[in-house]
Amino acid sequence: MSNLALAEAVRLVKQGQRFLLTCHVLPDADAVGSMLGLAEILRSLGKEVYLYNRDPIPPQLHFLPGVDAVRNSIPTGMHFDATFITDTAARSLLPRRFPSHAVTGPVVIIDHHVAHDDFGDVVVRDVSACATAVVVLDVAAALGVRRPLSLAAGAPLYTALVADTGGFRYPGTTAQTLRIAADLLDTGVDAWTVASNIFEGWSMARLRLLGSAINAMETEYAGRVAVVTVPLAMLDKAGATDDAAEGLVEYGRMLKGVEISAMLWERRPRTDETIEGLTLTRVSLRSAGRADVSKVAVALGGGGHRAAAGATMNLDLRSARELVVLEAGRELGIDP
């Protein structure tokens, strides 16, 4: 992490009063949890915050304190002293009609992704952090915010940490990760409430979708790559929405011998999906250990971490699948 960037972020907070907080489209737990945790930290310093994301917050995160304050638009005429964007490594992950610089003020990126394009005015990034929530805590410490934090800040940050480490199972989990988690539990967070909302409490529609996805699973390269494709028809048959497919990629990694698990699913396109236009296929990738799926994602126009990454592609499912399998093979050292 750049000390200069962190110092500049602190300066903007201290000199400003009103801040816009947002994260990437189709937000996940680390993006939302980091945004909500940072918002509460800024409020504790007497700052005014406005929370924005064009897309709805996933249902499994509705239990988080402060989530009801997130709005899907910004009132006309509102201006900010600075904008903080959490867990967002690329401009393409912002809405197509993201506010102009005249509205946002200086843009500060708070992130931990290895693959990125630094589109912000200030980039506070720690690629060694297991979650963006950890970087938010570094910002809080630099601002002089004392621990333990309030429950309103601790709950979303702990949730982000749990989600992005896969329940403290992923390789990025270290002794320090668990010490940070313990500090956040000291805020009064109920660990079971978080775990049950993140990993359980599925709808019947999502369980039906899981069954269909597992039945549709295929393998490539003698079982080293697992691939699931989820067309809109599969979603409709299960009665599931687009976000119900999130996380199902983990089941491919459970198959013995699989080194890379990939899931592709169709999205109902919207004219404001990303700054690059319509998104037709989303790709989610997971590594079973040695493979670096962030390299695969970058080749597909996305990004992420060594163990978990993704991309959005303006291709139909069949064409996208061909490219995903090709790039996964290259990462495994297999010639096409």
Range of the domain at 257: 204-331
Same-domain check for residues 190 and 210: no
- pLDDT greater than 60 at residue 204: yes
* Beta-strand pair 122-125/82-86: unpaired
Whether 315 is in a domain gets the answer yes
Q: Are residues 212 and 327 in the same domain?
A: yes
> Is it the case that residue 321 has pLDDT exceeding 50?
yes
Residue 231 lies in a domain: yes
Mind listing the pLDDT tens digit for each residue in 266-316?
A: 876 655 554 444 557 999 999 998 899 999 999 998 888 888 888 888 898
Q: What whole-number distance in Å separates Cα of residue 275 and Cα of residue 269?
A: 13
236 and 159 share one domain: no
Mean model confidence pLDDT for the chain: 92
Please write the tens of the pLDDT for every residue from 125-160. Answer: 999 999 999 999 999 999 999 888 999 999 999 999
- Do 210 and 229 sit in the same domain of this protein? yes
- Locate 279 and state its tokens: 């998104």
Tell me the CATH number at 315.
Answer: 3.10.310.30
Percent pLDDT > 90 in the chain is 75
More confident position, 96 or 12 = 12
Please identify, among 199, 221, 250, the residue that sits at the C-terminal boundary of a domain: 199
CATH number of the domain that 9 lies in? 3.90.1640.10
From CA 278, how far away is CA 314, in angstroms rounded? 6
Q: Does residue 46 sit in the same domain as residue 134?
A: yes
How much is the average pLDDT of 79-88?
97
| Across 182-207, average pLDDT | 95
Residue position matching structure tokens 């867990």: 87
Q: Is residue 215 scored above 80 in pLDDT?
A: yes
Q: Are residues 16 and 65 in the same domain?
A: yes
56 Rama sector, left if φ>0, alpha if ψ -120 to 50, beta otherwise: beta
Cα–Cα distance, 199 to 79 (Å, whole number): 38
Asked if residue 247 has pLDDT above 90, the reply is no
The pLDDT value recorded for residue 278 is 54
Please report which confidence band the pLDDT of residue 174 belongs to, taking 50, 70 and 90 as the band edges: very high
pLDDT band at 172 (very low <50, low <70, confident <90, very high): confident
Examine the domain organization and report whether 104 and 191 are in the same domain. yes
231 and 192 share one domain? no
What are the tens digits of pLDDT across the range 3-51? Answer: 899 999 999 999 999 999 999 988 999 999 999 999 999 999 999 999 9
Residue 277 has what pLDDT?
47
Of 199, 216, 233, which one is at a domain's C-terminal end?
199
pLDDT at 146: 86
Residue-by-residue DSSP string for 150-209: -HHHHHHHHHHHHHHTTTTTSTT--HHHHHHHHHHHTTT--HHHHHHHHHS---HHHHHH
Other Cβ atoms less than 10 A from the Cβ of 223: the count is 12
Question: Would you say 228 and 246 are in contact if contact means Cβ atoms under 8 Å apart?
Answer: no
Own/partner long-range contacts of 40-45 (Cβ < 8 Å, ≥24 apart): 40/65, 40/66, 40/149, 40/150, 40/152, 40/153, 40/156, 41/136, 41/139, 41/140, 41/143, 41/145, 41/149, 41/153, 42/13, 44/145, 44/149, 44/150, 44/153, 45/13, 45/143, 45/145
H-run or E-run covering 260 = strand 260-266
What DSSP string describes 273-314?
SBTTB---EEEEEEESSS--HHHHHHHTT-EE-SSEEEEEES
In a domain, 303, yes or no: yes
* 290 shares a domain with 167: no
What per-residue confidence (pLDDT) applies to 270? 58
Which tokens go with 149? 């934090």
In-domain check, residue 336: no
pLDDT band at 92 (very low <50, low <70, confident <90, very high): confident
Residue 323 pLDDT more than 70? yes
Q: Are residues 190 and 242 in the same domain?
A: no
Question: Of the candidates 199, 226, 244, which is a domain's last residue?
Answer: 199
CB within 8 Å of 199: residues ≥ 6 apart? 167
One domain, residues 263 and 154: no
Query: Nearest-CA neighbor of 133 among 115, 159, 108?
Result: 159
> What per-residue confidence (pLDDT) applies to 170?
83
Alpha-carbon radius of gyration of the chain:
19
User: Structurally, how many domains does the chain consist of?
Assistant: 2
Which helix (H) or strand (E) element contains residue 215?
A: helix 204-215
Residues 220 and 272 in one domain: yes
Q: How far apart are CA 132 and CA 134, in angstroms?
A: 5
Dihedral sign of CA atoms 99, 104, 108, 111 in order: negative
Tokens of 327: 């790039």
Residue 246 lies in a domain: yes
301 in any annotated domain: yes
